[in-house]
Amino acid sequence: MPQILYDLAIPMNGSNFTLIDSGCFRFRTLPGTGDYSGYIPLRLARDEQGGVEFEIDVDVDVGSVGIAAVDSDMGIISERQSSRGGGAQKLKLRAPELGDIAGLLLRNADHRGLSSEGTLMKISFRPVAGPIFAPPKPTLSGVLSLPLRQREGPVGGTEQSPASGGGHRTSLKRLSTAETAVVIIDPWAKHECPGWELRLSDNLSKFLLPALMAFRSTGIPIIYAPHDRMMSPAIRPTEDELVMQGILSPRDIAHGLKAAGITHLIYMGYASNYCLMSRPIGAINMWRAGFGIIVVRDASIALETSETFAGEWSHRVMMDFVEASLGATTSVDEIRQAADRIEVDQSRGKRLGDSSLPEPVSSQNS
């Protein structure tokens, strides 16, 4: 694996980088979570073709860092995050085209508001074949008839005249297991906020896990996006399921999903007013890419405030946003019932496919 030579790290916003030796830097990041703290331009041949995998040797003494491959406009192509204070580690990140990469960005990934410290030791790369993101294949061929709830457009304005429109309607949607994928966002085992950790664990055991078991019985592809943090041990992904490593750009995720024939994404996970919506693989970016968006409304919770906690109003608002603008929602009970009724091709012992599915749930603003 050839080593990339670099001797320049550009500190950002008051962070600190000290050159120890050629290609070896001591760093101290900014204290803010997510703050980009340094840029390392890479001398790469711009006429290179094909995908590449970087291997970055980093020794983290304090905190955690994220390292991203970026293009000339500082757009993130992919990113990996180190484990907290994990000592010497190898971070591997992939990019679809070596010639697109201008350099690496380093950010603070510690969620406690403290600076992270360590040593960036070596950067190597090797060519790789195949797509940067490839979703798993369905394990069975079938059709799931799932009730989906949407909010009707207001007639005359719901705020002044609630009775005149803007209510909910539920319709049955036929979803092919070959054209649908389940995306589970950040089902973490630990969190810096103990209260949130307890609420997540409770929701996961009572709602997300039962829905996951039902989805597994249908053969729908399942994708986990924990963003390099430890998932709840209750999840236990199977060999047919994909655990995404790090962060990829929405463009590359959408390309991989479309190449696999995926048209609909069903979301579960946390939090409904942050990562489930805003991650690169989250509902908003994938809606923009043209996918039908479905959220399992009770297999998620929101980060609430003191004003919203009692009624879980932040979560309710986000589910209304999905139903009015992004797509539709469903419930765990409806998923379990639909899984029990999935159509089966008795002659082949496989689930029945359907080539005449309706168009995706709205991918335009209502």
Report CA-CA distances (Å) from 43 to 101, 104, 343. 9, 11, 55
Please report whether residue 5 resides in a domain: no
DSSP code for 142 = -
Q: DSSP readout, 226-267?
A: -TTSPBPTTT---TTSEE--SEE-HHHHHHHHHHTT--EEEE
Q: Kindly report the CA angle at 280 between 278 and 283, in degrees rounded to 5? A: 55
Domain tally for the chain? 2
Decide which of 101, 128, 155 is a domain's last residue. 128
**How high is the pLDDT of residue 320?**
94
Asked if residue 360 belongs to a domain, the reply is no
Give 10-residue mean pLDDT values along the chain (366 residues).
Answer: 69 85 86 88 71 92 94 92 88 88 92 91 87 92 95 62 71 96 96 90 98 97 96 96 95 96 98 97 98 98 96 97 96 98 62 39 35
Do 199 and 235 share a domain, yes or no?
Answer: yes
**CATH code, 69:** 2.60.120.260
Q: Does the residue 54 lie in any domain?
A: yes
71 touches 251 (CB < 8 A)? no
* Amino acid at residue number 146: L
Helix (H) / strand (E) containing 125: strand 117-128
CB atoms within 10 A of CB 213: 12
Q: How much is the pLDDT for 115?
A: 93
**Residue 358 within a domain:** no
Question: Do both 217 and 92 map to the same domain?
Answer: no
Strand partners, 125: 54
Report the chain's terminal Cα–Cα distance, integer Å.
Answer: 51
Q: What is the pLDDT of residue 47?
A: 59
Predicted confidence at residue 13, as pLDDT, reads: 81
Nearest to 118 by CA among 47, 38, 45: 38
Instruction: State the DSSP H helix or E strand holding residue 336, giving kind and residue range, or none if neither.
Output: helix 332-340
For residue 315, give the CATH number of its domain.
Answer: 3.40.50.850
Report residue 67: phi and psi, to 5°. Answer: -125, 125
Residue 160 and residue 48 in one domain: no
* Chain length of the chain: 366
Containing domain of residue 173, as a range? 143-351
Q: Are 115 and 68 found together in one domain?
A: yes
Q: What DSSP designation does 211 have?
A: H
pLDDT at 356: 36
User: Are residues 330 and 185 part of one domain?
Assistant: yes
Question: Same domain for 196 and 72?
Answer: no
**What is the pLDDT, as a whole number, of residue 348?**
44
